[in-house]
């Protein structure tokens, strides 16, 4: 799935990029603010909310240009937004969920979580969505974390923005042997149907266990072939 971030392009550049995606026949885009560059300031004419609103504006303009009777075939971009439930202070969590609410109300049709390994926080996300009446599908970000790469250390130190590895998880990983890593990868492969390689996998539109509570369906039309009852598989 293509990403669009406000970090590297001005408003006109983002419009050109999004129109280019639609022209290529792509239907979905993940709208992100983008991380602050290590050097320099970035562009940031808009944030992720402004980017989602831009997608909706371009969709509306495409419909306005369409000839009568052809509205159903007008290309429309489906905007997704990121959310991280892995916040461990009340202020940070409230801020994250408030922004999530704004993203959905601005037109985001689905959410993709940031990386984290805490099923309680994942459950909290679904509870907030249910309590707030926010009816969108959620894609869980699945990543097999091992000490074969520096990723666990960087996440623990907060050097990979949006990715959280707690001290307890880091300690557990450092005690694992390579055989333990392989065993966990094989177990993940059986559970998700993936190869089990330590790579980032988007676990979207699953067909099994739904999240607790009734699922009233997404607020907007989901991509063709999508199953409208999400599940969360903790990594």
**Could you tell me if 67 and 38 are in contact, meaning their C-beta atoms sit under 8 angstroms apart?**
no
Q: Check whether 222 has a pLDDT greater than 90.
A: no
Lowest-confidence pick of 119-128, 172-181, 217-226: 217-226
Give the chain's end-to-end CA distance (angstroms, integer).
Answer: 21
Q: Which residues, 6 or more positions from 161, have their beta carbon under 8 angstroms from its beta carbon?
A: 35
Residue 129 burial (CB count, 10 A): 22
Q: Check whether 210 has a pLDDT greater than 60.
A: no
pLDDT digits (tens, 9 = 90+) for 80-136: 999 999 998 999 999 999 999 999 999 999 999 998 888 899 999 999 999 999 999
Per-residue model confidence (pLDDT) at position 50: 94
pLDDT digits (tens, 9 = 90+) for 3-62: 998 887 889 999 999 999 999 999 999 999 887 766 667 678 889 999 999 999 999 999
Per-residue model confidence (pLDDT) at position 209: 31
Q: Which residue has the higher pLDDT, 193 or 168?
A: 168
Q: Check whether 191 has a pLDDT greater than 70.
A: no
Per-residue model confidence (pLDDT) at position 189: 56
Find where tokens 């097999």 sit.
144
Cα-Cα-Cα-Cα dihedral sign, residues 232, 122, 221, 30: negative
Average pLDDT (139-148) is 86
Average pLDDT (176-193) is 70
Per-residue model confidence (pLDDT) at position 84: 94
Sequence-ordered strand ranges (E) for the chain: 3-5, 28-32, 78-83, 110-113, 138-143, 200-203
Q: Rounded to whole angstroms, what are the CA distances from 146 to 187, 196, 218, 232?
A: 14, 12, 35, 21
**Could you tell me if 163 and 170 are in contact, meaning their C-beta atoms sit under 8 angstroms apart?**
no
Tokens of 210: 């739904």
Fold of 1-142: TIM Barrel (3.20.20)
Per-residue model confidence (pLDDT) at position 221: 41
Per-residue model confidence (pLDDT) at position 188: 60
CA 145 centroid distance within chain: 18
* Rounded Cα distance, 23 and 113, in Å: 28
Residue 58 burial (CB count, 10 A): 19
Of 69, 55, 61, 94, nearest to 220 by C-alpha is 55
DSSP state string for 113-166 = EPSB--HHHHHHHHHHHHHTT----EEEEEE---TTSSHHHHHHTT-STT-B--
Domain extent listing, the chain = 1-142, 144-204
């Amino acid at each position: 799935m293509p990403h669009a971030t406000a970090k590297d392009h001005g408003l006109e550049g983002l419009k050109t990029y999004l129109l280019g995606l639609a022209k290529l026949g792509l239907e979905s885009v993940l709208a992100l603010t983008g991380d602050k560059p290590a050097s320099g300031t970035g562009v940031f004419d808009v944030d992720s909310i402004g980017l989602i609103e831009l997608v909706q504006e371009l969709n509306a303009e495409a419909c306005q240009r369409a000839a009568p009777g052809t509205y159903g075939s007008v290309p429309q971009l489906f905007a997704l937004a990121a959310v991280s439930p892995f916040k461990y202070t009340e202020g940070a969590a409230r801020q994250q969920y408030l922004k999530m609410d704004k993203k959905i109300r601005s037109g985001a049709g689905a959410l993709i979580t940031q990386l984290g390994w805490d099923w309680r926080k994942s459950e909290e996300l679904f509870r907030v969505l249910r309590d707030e009446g926010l009816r969108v599908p959620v894609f869980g970000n699945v990543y097999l974390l091992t000490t074969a790469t520096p990723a666990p250390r960087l996440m623990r130190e907060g050097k990979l923005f949006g990715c959280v590895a707690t001290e307890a998880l880091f300690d557990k990983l450092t005690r694992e042997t390579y055989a333990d890593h392989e065993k966990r990868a094989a177990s993940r492969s059986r559970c998700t149907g993936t190869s089990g390689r330590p790579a980032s996998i988007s676990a979207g539109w699953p067909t099994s266990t739904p999240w607790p509570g009734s699922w009233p369906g997404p607020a907007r039309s989901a991509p063709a072939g999508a199953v409208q009852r999400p599940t969360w598989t903790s990594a």
